[in-house]
Amino acid sequence: MSAPPIPYRTDGDLSLLSNLSIAIIGYGSQGHAHALNLRDSGLQVMVGARPGSSWDRASEAGFEVCPVPEAAARADLIALLVNDEFQLDVFKESIAPYLSAGKRLVFAHGFAIHFGFIQPPPDIDVILVAPKGPGRLIRKLFSEGLGVPSLVAAHQNATGLALDIALAYAKGIGGPASGAIETSFKQECETDLFGEQAVLCGGMSALVKAAFETLVEAGYPPELAYFECLHELKLTVDLMHESGISGMRKAISDTAQFGDLTRGPRLIGETVRAEMKQVLQEIQSGQFAREWMEENRAGRPLFNALTEEGQDHPIESVGEAVRALMPWIQNSKKI
């Protein structure tokens, strides 16, 4: 099967941003990388923050930092890079009052717009530039002259240049070697949520825990269970990241590959697939988004209880002891 061509655009024109005043709202994972990379791309960047550690870090990095309403009032392009669940409050209180016609509002994830929590006035551009990587990687690759690709989309195109601005912004944060894939807020948002729920975070952590528990309940030492079910995961994932599933299979033993080919599909059988479809349906219907916003309004009772329960699982204490045997892991830590 030959793959269809990817609408990959490398023609972002930075000069479209050169006369715009850019405000990065939030200086967290994405915010710090966008602000630093856009500034190093030669653009005028200020940071909108509230007093606290993000404000101080942006200020130490040499940015002009001001309260969010002031940044929103002064900027031509406003990138809203606070946590998704707080975007509506920040937008309502500190941005909406300053959105005059022709301004551009940029998001790094489609959540608040696609699920209708934020409804911007019709006379501004509403743009998505969603880099496919965390902020630290975006900054690191930019500094090395490489780049993380972004997904770009226009939800509102008041100026007629919304997608061109998105491509330019993607180039500004990704660097000259980067490109962007055109998509929609809906596609970016729903696939992003599904990926993190089914595989990257939800599916993977549940799979690892279930396998760890299976070995420990069968009487095997927890340290061995940790090595086999969690520690070595990275080795396989790195191979898949570099060369795909078939590439990974070339690097593992034939015994491992035979077990993979014959046992994997049994584990992820019809029941799991049916549940995946259900999880996707809850994303598409907006049920998940509403549940998450309500959870935040209620002070995160379930989020906090489940996080605590996860921290108390034996895999965490065993993991701490096992990782202490390998001090080099600390040196390559991502967080």
Question: Which residues in this chain contact Mg ion in the complex, by CB under 5 A?
Answer: 192
| Cβ pair 149, 171 in contact under 8 A | no
Is 84 a binding residue for ligand NDP by CB under 6 A? The answer is: yes
Is 288 a binding residue for ligand NDP by CB under 6 A? The answer is: no
Residue closest to 173 by CA, chosen among 30, 20, 334, 29? 30
Residue closest to 168 by CA, chosen among 158, 176, 160? 176
Which distant-in-sequence residues (6+ apart) come within 8 Å of 189 by Cβ? Answer: 109, 110, 111, 114, 115
Q: Which is nearer to Mg ion, 132 or 140 (CB)?
A: 132
| Cβ pair 63, 41 in contact under 8 A | no
What are the counts of helices (DSSP H) followed by strands (DSSP E) for the chain?
17, 9
| CB of residue 68 to ligand NDP, shortest distance in Å | 5
Q: Which is nearer to Mg ion, 130 or 162 (CB)?
A: 130
Is 82 a binding residue for ligand NDP by CB under 6 A? The answer is: yes
| CB of residue 149 to Mg ion, shortest distance in Å | 13
Is 108 a binding residue for ligand NDP by CB under 6 A? The answer is: yes
User: How many angstroms separate the CA atoms of 218 and 49, rounded?
Assistant: 52
DSSP classification of residue 134: -
Residues of this chain, 6-65, that bind ligand NDP according to CB under 6 A: 26-31, 49-50, 52-54
Is 130 a binding residue for ligand NDP by CB under 6 A? The answer is: yes
Q: Which is nearer to Mg ion, 41 or 150 (CB)?
A: 150
Which of 69, 121, 134, 314 forms a contact with ligand NDP (CB under 6 A)?
134
Residue nearest to Mg ion (CB): 192
> Taking contact as CB under 6 A, which single stretch among the options 79-87, 221-229, 302-310, 324-332 is the one that binds ligand NDP?
79-87
> Taking contact as CB under 6 A, which single stretch among the options 37-45, 75-83, 216-224, 319-327 is the one that binds ligand NDP?
75-83
**Which among ligand NDP, Mg ion, none contacts residue 131 (Cβ within 5 to 8 A by kind)?**
ligand NDP
SS3 content of the chain, % helix, strand, coil (to 5): 60, 15, 30
User: How many angstroms separate the CA atoms of 200 and 36, rounded?
Assistant: 27
Which distant-in-sequence residues (6+ apart) come within 8 Å of 38 by Cβ? Answer: 17, 22, 24, 45, 169, 172, 173
| Cβ pair 156, 162 in contact under 8 A | yes
Amino acid (1-letter code) at residue 296: N
| CB of residue 319 to Mg ion, shortest distance in Å | 24
**Which among ligand NDP, Mg ion, none contacts residue 113 (Cβ within 5 to 8 A by kind)?**
none
Q: Any idea which residues carry the catalytic annotation? A: 109
Q: Which is nearer to ligand NDP, 12 or 48 (CB)?
A: 48
**Which among Mg ion, ligand NDP, none contacts residue 26 (Cβ within 5 to 8 A by kind)?**
ligand NDP
Residue with tokens 């202490």: 324
| CB of residue 335 to ligand NDP, shortest distance in Å | 11
Is 72 a binding residue for ligand NDP by CB under 6 A? The answer is: no
**Which among ligand NDP, Mg ion, none contacts residue 30 (Cβ within 5 to 8 A by kind)?**
ligand NDP
Amino acid (1-letter code) at residue 193: L
| CB of residue 283 to ligand NDP, shortest distance in Å | 14
- What would the DSSP string read from start to end of 218-233? TT--HHHHHIIIIITH
Residues of this chain, 160-189, that bind ligand NDP according to CB under 6 A: none
Query: How far, CA to CA in Å, does 245 sit from each of 102, 126, 237, 260, 278?
Result: 46, 37, 9, 11, 25
Q: Which residues bind ligand NDP (CB under 6 A)?
A: 26-31, 49-50, 52-54, 68, 81-84, 86, 90, 108-109, 130-131, 134-135
